Amino acid sequence: MKDTIQRLTRDSKFTHSIRSNGFIAQIDKLSHQMEDYNDDAAQAAAIDVVLSSPVYDRVDKIEESKEGKEDEFDYTDHLVQQLLKWFKEEFFTWVNTPSCDSCGNKENGTITPLGGCRGYTQDHIDGRASMVERYRCNSCGTVNEFPRYGNAMTLLKFRKGRCGEWANCFTLILKSLGLKVRYVWNLEDHVWCEYYSKNLKRFIHLDPCENAFDNPLLYNHGWGKKMSYVFAISDHYI
């Protein structure tokens, strides 16, 4: 009975911490991040996307061109490198301010942000849109919406967003190929991912937004960014 009371007390304190501390609440949310990527339907959809891409053909050509030459990378490393390049250059689109659906206006200075609202359509709900951003086109007056989808499978079709959507969708693709993957979250508002290279015997930093492979100091040295907390989330641990 004493053990039960102690456990309930600990659980109660933890629940209170999650509700009252935004940082702890964020970490608790991150602990469930990998669940999407292990969904069978999501992985099947991701595999279909990869198989319909030119990535495997490009990797095969790289392997053929080696002709016995020494190469620090193996087939899987080359596959991930080509996935990064294809994902950034051909598959996904970065969106700061969406263009107008009515008149096609793309000039940021003539599109006014109006704030956002919670997802309200069934598509928003199914795609777990954390927010639907709204913008007014000053050229034609149309109010356009940009949902910030959190469901990785939805992003395979939507194919646009900012770093959160990019890392989310790309992590699903990696996971669907049977790779050991970690989703990486930084308190200073950026996310990326890693995969374990059996050839290199370590986790490799990947940033699909930057087509960056094994460049973990990109943010400090390249962006001049000061960083505090960085968490890597796997299937079983953070």
Residues 6+ apart with CB under 8 A from 208: 84, 87, 88, 92, 166, 167, 169, 170, 192, 193
List beta partners, residue 196.
Answer: 203
Indicate if 124 belongs to the active site. Answer: no
Indicate if 193 belongs to the active site. Answer: no
Residues 6+ apart with CB under 8 A from 89: 211
> How crowded is residue 112: how many other Cβ atoms within 10 Å of its Cβ?
13
The catalytically annotated residue of 36, 100, 124, 190 is 190
The catalytically annotated residue of 100, 124, 205, 207 is 207
The catalytically annotated residue of 28, 71, 163, 214 is 163
216/222 Cα distance (integer angstroms): 10
How big is the CA angle at 184 (ends 207 and 51), to the nearest 5 degrees? 55
19/13 Cα distance (integer angstroms): 10
131/173 Cα distance (integer angstroms): 24
Indicate if 205 belongs to the active site. Answer: no
42/31 Cα distance (integer angstroms): 19
Catalytic residues: 163, 190, 207
